[in-house]
Amino acid sequence: MSRVIIFDVNETLLDLRGLDVCFKRYLRVADVRKEWFAQALSSAMVATITDAYSDFGRIGGAALEMIAQRHQLSLSDDARAAILGAMRTLPPHAEAPDALARLRDQGLRLGALTNSTAQTAQAQLKHAGLYDFFEQILSAHAVRRLKPAPEPYLMAARAFDVDASNVRLVAAHSWDVIGAMRAGCRAAFVARPGMVLDPLAERPDIVGADLGAVADSILKMDVR
């Protein structure tokens, strides 16, 4: 049973499709937003594995430059700032407010844990109207190791003054779920369209199509 529920932010709580208007305006390449975020995650993994830390904002900016070069596009400073700045104004997934409210109202302690800086995460969640659901908003930047390294998940457990086994991470990324479980936490996977679990890794005990379905399962398993 987990009394602390920690949520990933980008793609789990917030909808990255909110960036599509900016990407279409400045880069004019189909589905380039997905390509950019995949590159940012890949670069973050390399930084973590090789122990060469950069904050996720810098990684996102570098990934944007890589995508522009890959497509032989020029990217002005204004365009770069507009795209990266739009990360702070992403909309929430439609079911997020109700799912969070139901969990909080049943006495579960809620937190957010992101690879973004704390300032970015706070701005994002305030804009999305989700900020007040969370007891703490935590950033991997505090330990200078990005998820899925164990340090961010263990930091979250310390921040809530519980053992890692009493923390459940909710994420729409297989790598995030794997990282949490291998750090000793439990996990729940949000199987949004296109998101799948890694068959080489252990399977979390909760899998749901969206946050509403995940919240239903958490209320059955983690509330006594």
202-220: average pLDDT: 97
185-206: average pLDDT: 97
156-168: average pLDDT: 97
Walk me through the domains of the chain, giving residue ranges and CATH numbers: 4-15+90-221 (3.40.50.1000), 16-89 (1.10.150.240)
pLDDT band at 1 (very low <50, low <70, confident <90, very high): low
82-94: average pLDDT: 96
160-188: average pLDDT: 98
pLDDT of residue 112: 98
- Give the separation between CA 44 and CA 121, rounded to whole angstroms: 17
Residue the block writes with tokens 């929430």:
92
Burial class (CB in 10 A: 0-12, 13-18, 19+), 81: exposed
Burial class (CB in 10 A: 0-12, 13-18, 19+), 93: buried
Residue pLDDT, tens place only, 31-81: 899 999 999 999 999 999 999 999 999 999 999 999 999 999 888 999 999
pLDDT surpassing 80 at residue 25: yes
Burial class (CB in 10 A: 0-12, 13-18, 19+), 21: exposed
Position 207: which residue type?
V
pTM given for the model? 0.95
- The overall average pLDDT reported for the chain is 95
pLDDT surpassing 70 at residue 98: yes
- Give the separation between CA 113 and CA 159, rounded to whole angstroms: 11
- Give the separation between CA 199 and CA 189, rounded to whole angstroms: 13
